[in-house]
A = this chain, B = another copy of it.
Amino acid sequence: MPDFNAPVRDLEFVLHEVLDVEHAGIEGYDALEPDLTRAILDEAGKLARDVLAPLNPVGDQQGCQLENGVVRTPDGFTDAYAQMKAGGWTGLDCDPDYGGQGMPYVLNTAVGEIFVSANMAFQIYLGLTHGAYNAIHAHGSDAQKATYLPRMVSGDWTGTMNLTEPHCGTDLGLMRTKAEPQDGGSYAITGQKIFISAGEHDLTDNIIHLVLAKIPDGPEGIKGVSLFIVPKFLVNEDGSLGNRNAVTCGKIEEKMGIHGNATCVMNYDGATGYLLGAEHKGMRAMFTMMNEARLGVGLQGYAQAEPAYQAALDYARERLQGRAVTGDENPDGPADPLIVHPDIRRNLLDQKSFVEGARAFTLWGAQMIDKARRNQDEEAEAMISLLTPVLKGFLTDQGFEMTIQAQQVFGGHGYIEETGMSQFARDARIAMIYEGANGVQALDLVGRKLGADGGMPMMAFFEMIKAFIRDQGEDEALATSILDPLKSASKDLQEAAMFFVQNGVKNPNEALSGSYDFMHLFGHVGLGYMWAKMAVVATKALADGTGDPAFYEAKLATARFYMARRLPAVSMHKARILSGGATVMALDADHF
């Protein structure tokens, strides 16, 4: 099984050199001193390497077991969970009023990447809890917050999100789960929810389910959906656990991957639920957390590509097969290592340039969430709302593709479960689907975000790139290999956006037929922008003679690779978009 080494230096590079978090002028960011962040990332890295990563194949092979309503997680998961709790990792960026450490979300994101890379299925138990924590923190009454948040921050209890039903996923307006008012102000929740990650397990004494349901006689469709807190065990006034609530796990799904996480069918049989937020405003409550939740899934995409890349790189350096076309590079050995072959290098650089670009893109997005939240900055809020579907859709699509490319480096050995390369791909696959399938992300991007606020956030994005390029002045090398391609790609994105504006109103299908391509076009420009930023930092560091020159040379070389070899995808996406919707809409449904 592949070892995992947390990319601490690369995370520091993004946090301190590219984003310069300490001086970003965001409330609470002054705490992010390099010594502190390094200590935290190092500790997270140790836990990831020594505890979580070794359990990753165990979780895959054993999966979760449901017996008599009880779910057993794979061997070692409860111990690992105890260590996560003991280390305070469950509350790193949570509100100090409820026992959290109050660190910025950007740092939590960096730490989260490390944990997801080591063991995605395990980390989902914590990720869901964090989502539920956010919802209660944003919409709960004081009493609800006091009852639930401290135990969720400490990790004593976990949380879940219950949206999907057998007949409705994206279209939640079709929901059937009912919430009937009962004495004492609570509701009786009845219905079935499916695909509930971490819905039942043996890691904690209690599980706090957040459940979307309809109160009878409310508005039709999505406008009649409310959000409820449904604890597995009711909580007594003194905080002790009371009666078992009428919510049970009916089944665990057999899935393609993330076997270590229990994906449950949850049956609510008149379970006691407490309204969270206002009646019929359940979707609004969900939307509050959406940017963060979706960024977290985008992160899963590249965070699976990271360990897959590490393993592929090791293999390419060690496996001797064939000879370099330009002459033996390992003349004393029976063959040269795989990494001498141009196509293996092309493959590895695809992975490397994606993962490092995606990391910068994601942490930049996390910083924007902090800025929006901590500084009440509306422009940052608008920008991250625009970027969220891109972060989610593009990074998970490409992340999965890169796990496949990493697997390919291993040849036949990559297809054998023993090497662990299959698991990275199978686990990464889910991120393209859940938290809004990527087609829904594309629809959100083109159908809602692009035209939001009269298109101001989109225009601000273009202006930001223009200003960035202008600011770099006259550096010839940078201009040719880095800035010109970015400029051209950004123009392509603008042209595509303009096409939608001009044609989408008359015929929305003209725009929506190109939505998926637009999401990818946008993603490439986003990563291109990140690589340009990283190249500028690396150029300066090399000129100043600070740090390890090999590190910065590698960043520059990878930036040039991205521009030359990855960014040309924009021309394809643009051409597809500009071809319009006619060929997509022409065929009658019966004649496919």
**Which chain A residues have a beta carbon within 8 Å of chain B's beta carbons?**
164, 167-171, 174, 194-195, 253-257, 313, 317, 320-322, 325-326, 334-335, 337, 339-349, 352, 400, 404, 407-408, 411-412, 414-418, 422, 425-426, 429-430, 432-434, 437-439, 442-443, 447, 507-509, 512-513, 515-516, 550, 553-554, 557-558, 560-561, 564-565, 568-569, 571-572, 575-576, 579-587, 589, 591-592
CA distance A511 to B515 in the complex (A): 34
Given contacts A341-B512, A343-B515, A442-B343, contact A554 B434 (CB under 8 A): no
CA distance A583 to B591 in the complex (A): 46
CB distance from A495 to the nearest CB of B (A): 14
| Chain B residues with CB under 8 A of A569 | 572
Ordered nearest first, which 10 A-B pairs have the shortest CB separation?
Answer: A568-B575, A564-B579, A342-B512, A256-B422, A572-B572, A561-B583, A342-B513, A171-B321, A254-B417, A325-B508
**When the two chains form their complex, are residues A342 and B581 in contact, meaning their CB atoms are under 8 A apart?**
yes
Q: Which of B439, B507, B560, B571 contacts A571 (CB 8 A)?
A: B571
Q: Which of B164, B429, B565 contacts A583 (CB 8 A)?
A: B565
A346 (CB) vs chain B CBs: closest residue: B584
| Chain B residues with CB under 8 A of A587 | 345, 349, 554, 557-558, 561
| Chain B residues with CB under 8 A of A422 | 255-256
| Chain B residues with CB under 8 A of A512 | 325, 341-343
Given contacts A422-B256, A591-B553, contact A415 B433 (CB under 8 A): yes
Q: Which of B343, B352, B558 contacts A513 (CB 8 A)?
A: B343
Q: How many copies of this kind of chain does the complex include?
A: 2
Given contacts A347-B439, A412-B433, contact A342 B515 (CB under 8 A): yes
CA distance A564 to B348 in the complex (A): 31
A194 (CB) vs chain B CBs: closest residue: B412
| Chain B residues with CB under 8 A of A433 | 408, 411-412, 414-415
A337 (CB) vs chain B CBs: closest residue: B589
**When the two chains form their complex, are residues A326 and B439 in contact, meaning their CB atoms are under 8 A apart?**
no
**When the two chains form their complex, are residues A592 and B346 in contact, meaning their CB atoms are under 8 A apart?**
no
Q: Which of A422, A434, A558, A586 has the largest number of chain B CB atoms within 10 A?
A: A586
Q: Would you give 21 A-B contacts (Cβ < 8 Å), ordered by A?
A: A169-B321, A174-B321, A253-B416, A255-B422, A256-B416, A325-B512, A326-B508, A342-B515, A345-B513, A346-B513, A346-B516, A349-B587, A407-B429, A412-B433, A415-B429, A550-B591, A557-B586, A561-B587, A564-B583, A565-B579, A571-B572
CB distance from A427 to the nearest CB of B (A): 11
| Chain B residues with CB under 8 A of A254 | 416-418
CB distance from A384 to the nearest CB of B (A): 23
CB distance from A99 to the nearest CB of B (A): 34
| Chain B residues with CB under 8 A of A335 | 171, 174
CA distance A339 to B572 in the complex (A): 24
**When the two chains form their complex, are residues B561 and A571 in contact, meaning their CB atoms are under 8 A apart?**
no
A343 (CB) vs chain B CBs: closest residue: B439
**When the two chains form their complex, are residues A561 and B584 in contact, meaning their CB atoms are under 8 A apart?**
yes
**When the two chains form their complex, are residues B583 and A560 in contact, meaning their CB atoms are under 8 A apart?**
yes
Q: Which of B171, B340, B430, B442 contacts A415 (CB 8 A)?
A: B430
**When the two chains form their complex, are residues A576 and B584 in contact, meaning their CB atoms are under 8 A apart?**
no
**When the two chains form their complex, are residues B417 and A255 in contact, meaning their CB atoms are under 8 A apart?**
yes
| Chain B residues with CB under 8 A of A417 | 254-256
**When the two chains form their complex, are residues B591 and A554 in contact, meaning their CB atoms are under 8 A apart?**
yes
CB distance from A453 to the nearest CB of B (A): 21
| Chain B residues with CB under 8 A of A507 | 326
Q: Which of A335, A343, A569 has the largest number of chain B CB atoms within 10 A?
A: A343
Given contacts A174-B335, A345-B584, contact A554 B592 (CB under 8 A): yes
CA distance A404 to B399 in the complex (A): 14
CB distance from A274 to the nearest CB of B (A): 27
CB distance from A294 to the nearest CB of B (A): 16
A563 (CB) vs chain B CBs: closest residue: B583
A400 (CB) vs chain B CBs: closest residue: B404
| Chain B residues with CB under 8 A of A584 | 342, 345-346, 349, 561, 565
CB distance from A350 to the nearest CB of B (A): 9
CB distance from A219 to the nearest CB of B (A): 16
A441 (CB) vs chain B CBs: closest residue: B343
**When the two chains form their complex, are residues A568 and B560 in contact, meaning their CB atoms are under 8 A apart?**
no
| Chain B residues with CB under 8 A of A426 | 256, 426
Q: Which of A400, A408, A572 has the largest number of chain B CB atoms within 10 A?
A: A572
CA distance A123 to B434 in the complex (A): 34
A446 (CB) vs chain B CBs: closest residue: B343
Q: Which of B348, B407, B429 contacts A592 (CB 8 A)?
A: B348
